[in-house]
Structure 1
């Protein structure tokens, strides 16, 4: 069942945070700089959207730091052990991250964004506008621990 695919970055994150951390991403501003091989009109219509969904590669993660089995989020003994697919962190086989961020403005092939939880230099693999109708349908439920763990995730960053 193992398949592999070659994926090429189509953009990189410029600016914003230099190192990944667990919390305080709120207000972080950066630029998603699209490769100049794309035509100028590849961003046409994008400014009409308030949010983007970004697929990126966790390029700073140590490949030896993979934890596919169950473990406690942030090693907190108060939270239950969950497997790799119950986490959203960087310790994943393909090192892929997905983030939804606010699009502030479009300047040619530069997308100015806020609250993108990817650091300076991060390879961006795909950019999609956020369609509200593509969000979750039906009742949403989750355990208590993600809300507690992520209470400060998008709190303002303190230097």
Structure 2
């Protein structure tokens, strides 16, 4: 099971935040700039019909050695149960991959203007997909209470 593969970014995040933070991503505007050396504007034809995107990116500022093998409490809060690496969604991941769903504000050539993308300026974008509501979770969604408590301000606009 140790096959490797190479992934080349299709785009980079331009603007928005310069440092990752735990909360207050609401109102954050940035641009996903698609690589013009590899793609033409035909690659985004039809994308403007969608309100949201699903973006796969690399947590490029994360130290690859910072992956504790032991369970840990979310955000270090002992009131929330400790969980293993795959029970978290933060940047401390084996392959340093992130997935975000953000609002597509505008398509301008190969620049995708987005809001509430929780990736910082310079982030390598590995894939961009339109969000299909029909591809969302099927059936009843189950989760413990702590993620809602922890993320209560995640998409709050700090300027509002």
- State the TM-score bracket (shorter-chain normalisation): over 0.9
Where does residue 25 of structure 1 map in the other structure? 25
Where does residue 95 of structure 2 map in the other structure? 94
Where does residue 131 of structure 1 map in the other structure? 132
Structure 2: runs of 5+ lacking an equivalent: none
Q: Partners in 2 of 1:44 and 1:33 — Cα distance? A: 15
Determine helix, strand or coil for the equivalent of 2:95.
Answer: coil
Q: Partners in 1 of 2:104 and 2:69 — Cα distance? A: 33
Determine helix, strand or coil for the equivalent of 2:86.
Answer: helix
1:157 Cα deviation after fit: 2.7
Where does residue 116 of structure 2 map in the other structure? 115
Determine helix, strand or coil for the equivalent of 2:63.
Answer: coil
Aligned-residue Cα RMSD (Å) equals 0.8
Q: Partners in 1 of 2:12 and 2:69 — Cα distance? A: 27
Residues 68, 92 of structure 1: 8 Å contact kept: no
1:69 Cα deviation after fit: 3.0
Give a deviation string over 1:4-59, Cα, whole Å, max 9, x none.
11000010000000000000000100000000020111100000000000000000
Q: Partners in 2 of 1:34 and 1:60 — Cα distance? A: 20
After TM superposition, the runs of 4+ consecutive aligned structure 1 residues lying more than 6 A away are none
Q: Partners in 1 of 2:70 and 2:108 — Cα distance? A: 43
TM-score by length of 2: 0.97
TM-score by length of 1: 0.97
Q: Partners in 2 of 1:157 and 1:62 — Cα distance? A: 28
- How many aligned residue pairs are there? 158
Where does residue 54 of structure 2 map in the other structure? 53
Determine helix, strand or coil for the equivalent of 2:140.
Answer: coil
